[in-house]
Amino acid sequence: MHVQRRRRGLLLLCAVGVIIVVAVMVFWPVPVDRPFRQVIMQVLDAARDRGLPPWVTYNQVERAANVLLFMPVGAVVTLVLRRPVVALTLCVLASAGIELVQYFLLGSRKGSVVDLAMNSLGAAVGVTGVVVTARIVRLLRNRWGRRSVSEPS
C-alpha cells in the first residue's frame, strides 16, 4: 500500500509538471517558436537539399509539435484518472479552452481549429498508448502467472 501511495504521488507530481510546461508554452504571450523560426526554416531547407520531401513545411512541423506536446498530457491524465474516455474528453476540452484564450485574449497568439485537432490527436495518441501498454502488461502478467502456477516445481 505504501508503494502504491508513493507511485501515485510521483504520478501526480509528473502530471503537475506536464501541465505547468504545457500551460507556459500555450499561454506565453508570443508563440514560443518565434525566436527559433528562422533556424527551423534553415534546418528544413538543408534537410530538403538532402532529400526531405518538399511537402514537409514549417506548418507541418508546427502541427507535429502540437501532437507531440499533447501526447504526454493525454498519457498522464489517463494514468491519474484511470478512465481513458474521461481523460480524452478533458484533454479535448482543455485544448478548446486554450485555443479560445489564445484567440480572444492573447493578441499575438492565434487560436485555431487546426491546433485544436492536432492537440486532440496528440492527447488521443497518449491515451491510446497508456491503454495499449496496460493491456499488454496485463496480458503478460496473466501469461507469466499461469506458467508459474502450472509448471512443476
Whole-number Cα distances in Å, 38 to 24, 25, 35, 84, 106: 22, 19, 8, 39, 23
Place of cell 493578441: 107
Q: How confident is the model at residue 144 (pLDDT cuts 50, 70, 90)?
A: confident
- The predicted model scores a pTM of 0.84
Give the chain's mean pLDDT.
Answer: 90
Q: Residue 134: its pLDDT value, please?
A: 95
Which of 29-38, 59-68, 113-122, 140-149 is predicted with the least confidence, judged by mean pLDDT? 140-149
Average pLDDT over residues 46-69: 94
Q: Whats the size of the chain, residue-wise?
A: 153
Place of cell 514560443: 32
pLDDT of 15-40, one tens digit each?
Answer: 899 989 999 988 888 888 888 899 99
Average pLDDT over residues 100-119: 92
